[in-house]
């Protein structure tokens, strides 16, 4: 697989294709990701309007994108655990719970940042 990736710009194009495939898969298979994308489609333009400085706008957008990023990582964890097997195991459950907790923390961080920018 590594030999087809090439170097330099070819590697970047291959990586971009894999990334796009991952985004499409998450959109098709993950309800939470679709919901968070819809929130982002509203929040990013709002951030451009309500942020008073470039830094505030960047921070508001970054925390929204961070939620999407953590959701993608959580989906990856869930897929790997499910690939291992369907039998219940405490470590499988723990991995999924920790991934879910990471998403929750990303959402809390986003809410705190938005709260401080809007009301602080």
Q: Could you list the active site residues?
A: 71
Query: What is the length of the chain?
Result: 120
Q: What is the DSSP string of 66-78?
A: HHHHHHHHHHHHH
Torsions phi, psi for 84 (to 5 deg): -65, -40
Can you say whether the dihedral through the CA atoms of 117, 63, 31, 45 is positive or negative? positive
Cα–Cα dist 64/62, whole Å: 5
């Amino acid at each position: 697989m590594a030999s087809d990736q090439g170097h330099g710009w070819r590697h970047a194009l291959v990586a971009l294709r894999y990334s796009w495939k991952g985004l499409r898969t998450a959109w098709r298979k993950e309800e939470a990701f679709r919901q968070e994308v819809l929130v982002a489609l509203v929040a990013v333009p709002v951030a451009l309007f309500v942020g008073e400085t470039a830094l505030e706008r960047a921070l508001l957008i970054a925390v929204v994108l961070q939620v999407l990023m953590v959701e993608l990582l959580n989906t990856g964890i869930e897929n790997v655990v499910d690939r291992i097997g369907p039998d219940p195991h405490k470590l499988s459950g723990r991995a999924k719970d920790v991934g879910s907790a990471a998403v929750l923390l990303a959402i809390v961080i986003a809410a705190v940042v938005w709260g401080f920018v809007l009301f602080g």
